[in-house]
């Protein structure tokens, strides 16, 4: 995901900015750039691809100046080209900005600026901020305060102006920004990793803050321009911990990145006015797709669970029959496959050997071939004709979290695209597009549950060695995923089952204190699941339920509710998995295990 660095001090800015960008590389990016405010105005350097491309350019360019900004960009709006890389400038070239996040009123601002005769040189929402600033007059800080009410969405921005080369202005709403207070110099970055080589004294900006940085002073304001106090903290983190953005483990960080990851994935595939899916964005050939009679989903592990939910999405929304197979089994079962079957390989890494082999099989059989993948230019990406990139950013924790939720969203978008191709004419996609845009808020709300709630769940799970996870319908795959998460990182044995199957065998396991985790948000089938839970309760089970706080039917039944907000049925799988990820995480931490690198597991399984 994108990274920001800014510097003002008594040294040349470019080498310091490049060093900061190197530290931010782990976040993943596909272009990079920097800008310096010097005596001759603003100088900009940008390059697509790896940071070494930018470094090469920088070595050949004189860019004197002691105030500057740098950025690594993970493309969401607009291709990863040099023109779309940051910094972006206004038309006069007198100011430059870098930006993390997404403007939600992108389309209306763009139209407004165009109507006013502003010539836009990129596809980014970032340029719109630069242009808005360029249209204002006066000191940079005043300009920022004036345009803030125009910006809807999420942003962390750092700006420089040729007219005030002794200043940086930073402001945020959503994505983080941290200021580094150095010795005769100031830095600002999207995470502390980029600052640590120069200072350990930092100020974490809060949501809505605007900060003016000079060589020896930081002043922080609220959005109305009133001064606010922010404490300077001294970090004692080591660099590895800092890379985790302050989280104890990558897995926890990645769990918390899900609102952003999901938002980015949703916005990447909605049309300009965000009222439906943008089919062109998938690169699918609508003519060929109109002929398909079946969809075949292939994947492994967590990605296979996403496919099980995807089957519900595609069958319900596009009315096309869907088969889901483990990629490792598929190629050995001599599948019936031809031009009438759309084969989709779902893979976070794009390098899983079994999934690639299943996709190859599809290719040879002449099936239209697509992938839902998190890594641009991976093997799956190159093999497929149609690609849908999940915008999860690099996932480092071995146990998949944000890759899974973005896969669910991607499969829902695929279902909506297929629905459109099949000619359904109603407002279902408009309704779901609106719900999808609200989904990040529901995820953020779910993440607000205090840790103590999970600790009660940890006590119930660590008192025994086995657990049963139950769900029904499209929440059954979430029960499977919850059980897999627990197994992977805590090494406790857990099984996922459809609620109705429970009395056909697994109920034999239940006795006093046996934990049963129910994925039980509000659905027409919830009553039936409550019935299944009463059956295990009478046999002594301890029941943990993922459900809306205060939902009826759980009093006297559940020992613990892991609360989620009430969301549209199609979005319940995405929201319901969050408490299960956190539960598994806290159990593993309690057991003192290596959460990010569990024994025997690899992040990418490139062998059969
Ligand atoms: C579980 C997990 C694995 C992967 C599986 C497929 O947390 O991460 O089960 O989902 O190895 O990997 P990809 O999606 O990269 O093909």
Q: At what angle do helices 402-421 and 301-318 cross, to 10 degrees?
A: 30
Fold annotation for 250-443? Rossmann fold (3.40.50)
Strand partners, 543: 516
Of 60-74, 238-252, 352-366, the range with the lowest mean pLDDT is: 238-252
Measured CA to CA in angstroms, residue 390 lies from 105, 282, 381 at distances of 22, 11, 12
Domain 3-242 matches domain 250-443 at the CATH topology level: no
Q: Which of 2, 240, 229, 211 is closest to 99 using CA atoms?
A: 2
133 and 160 Cβ atoms separated by less than 8 Å = no
Going from the Cα of 596 to the center of ligand 1, the distance in angstroms, rounded, reads: 14
Give the pLDDT of residue 132: 98
Ligand 1 centroid to Cα of residue 299, in Å, is 8
Place of tokens 């799988």: 573
User: What residues are annotated to the active site?
Assistant: 2, 603
Work out the average pLDDT over 211-215.
96
pLDDT-above-70 percentage for the chain: 97
Q: Could you confirm whether domain 451-590 is CATH 3.40.50.10490?
A: yes
Q: How far is the CA of 597 from the centre of ligand 1 (A)?
A: 13
Task: Give the position, in ligand 1's atom list, of the atom nearest the Cα of 604.
Answer: 15
pLDDT at 182: 95
- The Cβ-side half-sphere exposure at 424, using a 13 Å CA radius, reads 17
- At residue 604, does pLDDT exceed 70? no
Res. 285: pLDDT tops 70: yes
pLDDT at 26: 64
Residue 237: the pLDDT is 58
pLDDT in tens, 380-415: 998 999 999 999 987 888 899 999 999 999 999 999
Q: Which of 388, 422, 400 is nearest to 266 (CA)?
A: 388
Confidence class for position 245, pLDDT limits 50, 70, 90: confident
Confidence grade of residue 315 (pLDDT, cut at 50, 70, 90): very high
Span 224-233, pLDDT tens digits: 999 999 999 8
- CB atoms < 10 A from the CB of 69, how many? 31
Q: Region 430-455: what's the mean pLDDT?
A: 94
pLDDT averaged over the chain?
Answer: 92
| Domain chopping of the chain, boundaries | 3-242, 250-443, 451-590
Instruction: Using the mean position of ligand 1's atoms as its centre, give its distance from the Cα of residue 482 in Å.
Output: 14
Q: Cα separation of 185 and 388, whole Å?
A: 43
Strands of the sheet with 515-519, listed across from one edge: 493-498, 466-471, 515-519, 542-547, 560-563
What is the reported pLDDT for 28? 66
Q: Rounded to a whole number, what is the distance in angstroms from the first to the last CA of the chain?
A: 30
Domain 3-242 annotated CATH 3.60.20.10? yes
Q: Residue 455 half-sphere exposure, CB side, CA atoms within 13 Å?
A: 3
Angle CA(349)–CA(85)–CA(177) in degrees, nearest 5?
80
Share of residues in the chain with pLDDT > 90 (%): 75
- Pick from 254, 298, 301 the residue to mutate for probing ligand 1's pocket: most ligand atoms within 8 Å of its CB: 301
Q: Provide residues with CB under 6 Å of ligand 1.
A: 300-303, 347-349, 352, 355, 399-400, 488, 604-605
Q: What pLDDT, on a 0 to 100 scale, did the predictor assign at position 606? A: 47
Give the residue with greater pLDDT, 523 vs 598. Answer: 523
User: From the CA atom positions of the chain, what is the Rg in Å?
Assistant: 25
Q: pLDDT per residue over 452-509, tens digit each?
A: 999 999 999 999 999 999 999 999 999 999 999 999 999 999 999 999 998 899 899 9
- The C-alpha atoms of residue 573 and residue 567 are separated, in whole angstroms, by 10
Q: What is the token pair recorded at 137?
A: 């007059």
DSSP label at 119? P
Identify the pLDDT of residue 291: 87
In this structure, what token pair is assigned to residue 172? 């945020």
- Residue the block writes with tokens 């920097």: 34
SS3 string of 406-434?
HHHHHHHHHHHHHHHHCCCCCCHHHHHHH
CB 532 within 8 A of CB 470: yes
List residues bridging with 277 in a β-sheet: 270
Does position 607 have pLDDT exceeding 60, yes or no? no
Name the more confident of 288 and 171. Answer: 171
Give me 537's structure tokens: 């309760």
User: What pLDDT does residue 573 have?
Assistant: 98
Give yes or no for a cis peptide into 100 (omega within 30° of 0): no
Query: Do residues 313 and 411 lie in contact, with contact meaning Cβ atoms separated by under 8 Å?
Result: yes
pLDDT tens sequence across 84-107 = 999 999 999 999 999 988 888 999
Q: What is the mean pLDDT of residues 285-308?
A: 93
Give the model's pLDDT for residue 597: 80
């Amino acid at each position: 995901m994108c990274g920001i660095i800014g510097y003002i001090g008594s040294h040349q800015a470019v080498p310091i900015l490049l060093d900061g960008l190197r530290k931010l590389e782990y976040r993943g990016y596909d272009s990079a750039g920097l800008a310096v405010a010097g005596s001759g105005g603003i100088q900009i350097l940008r390059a697509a691809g790896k940071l070494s491309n930018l470094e090469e350019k920088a070595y050949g360019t004189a860019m004197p100046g002691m105030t500057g900004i740098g950025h690594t960009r993970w493309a969401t709006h607009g291709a990863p080209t040099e023109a779309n890389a940051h910094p972006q400038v206004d038309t006069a070239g007198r100011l430059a900005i870098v930006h993390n996040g997404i403007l939600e009123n992108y389309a209306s601002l763009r139209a407004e600026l165009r109507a006013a005769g502003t010539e836009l040189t990129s596809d980014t929402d970032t340029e719109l901020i630069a242009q808005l600033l360029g249209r204002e007059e006066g000191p940079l800080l005043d300009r920022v305060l004036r345009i803030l009410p125009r910006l809807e969405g999420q942003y962390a921005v750092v700006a420089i102006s040729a007219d005030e080369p002794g200043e940086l202005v930073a402001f945020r709403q959503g994505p983080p920004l941290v200021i580094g207070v150095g010795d005769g110099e100031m830095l600002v970055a999207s995470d502390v990793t980029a600052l640590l080589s120069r200072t350990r004294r930092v100020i974490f900006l809060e949501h809505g803050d605007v900060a003016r940085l000079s060589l020896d002073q930081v002043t922080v304001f609220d959005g109305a321009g009133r001064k606010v106090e922010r404490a300077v903290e001294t970090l004692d983190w080591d660099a590895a911990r800092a890379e985790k953005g302050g989280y104890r483990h990558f897995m926890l960080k990645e769990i918390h990145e899900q609102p952003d990851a999901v938002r980015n994935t949703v916005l990447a595939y909605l049309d300009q006015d965000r009222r439906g899916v943008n089919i062109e964005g998938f690169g699918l050939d609508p003519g060929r797709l109109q002929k398909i009679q079946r969809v075949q989903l292939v994947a492994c592990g967590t990605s296979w669970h996403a496919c099980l939910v995807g089957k519900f999405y595609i069958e319900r929304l596009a009315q096309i029959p869907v088969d889901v197979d483990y990629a490792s089994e598929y190629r050995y079962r001599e599948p019936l496959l031809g031009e009438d079957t759309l084969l989709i390989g779902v893979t976070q890494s794009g390098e899983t050997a079994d999934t690639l082999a299943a996709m190859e099989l599809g290719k040879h059989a002449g099936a239209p071939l697509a992938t839902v993948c998190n890594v641009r230019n991976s093997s799956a990406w190159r093999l497929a004709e149609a690609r849908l990139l999940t915008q999860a950013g690099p996932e480092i924790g071995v146990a998949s979290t944000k890759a899974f939720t973005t896969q669910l969203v991607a499969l829902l978008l695929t279902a909506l695209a297929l629905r459109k191709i099949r000619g359904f004419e109603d407002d279902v996609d408009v309704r779901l597009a609106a719900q999808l845009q609200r989904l990040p808020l529901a995820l953020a709300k779910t993440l607000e549950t205090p840790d103590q709630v999970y600790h009660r769940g940890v006590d119930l799970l660590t008192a025994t060695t086995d657990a049963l996870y139950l769900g029904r319908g499209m929440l059954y795959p979430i029960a499977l995923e919850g059980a897999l998460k627990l197994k992977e990182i805590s090494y406790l044995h857990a099984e996922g089952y459809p609620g109705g199957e429970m009395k056909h065998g697994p109920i034999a396991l239940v006795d006093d204190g046996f934990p049963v985790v129910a994925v039980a948000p509000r659905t027409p089938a919830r009553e039936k699941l409550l019935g299944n839970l009463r059956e295990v309760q009478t046999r002594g089970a301890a029941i943990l339920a993922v459900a809306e706080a205060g939902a009826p039917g759980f009093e006297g039944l559940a020992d613990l509710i892991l609360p989620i907000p009430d969301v549209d049925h199609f979005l319940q799988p995405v929201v319901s998995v969050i408490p299960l990820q956190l539960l598994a995480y806290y159990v593993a931490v309690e057991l003192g295990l290596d959460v990010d690198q569990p024994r025997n597991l690899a992040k990418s399984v490139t062998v059969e």
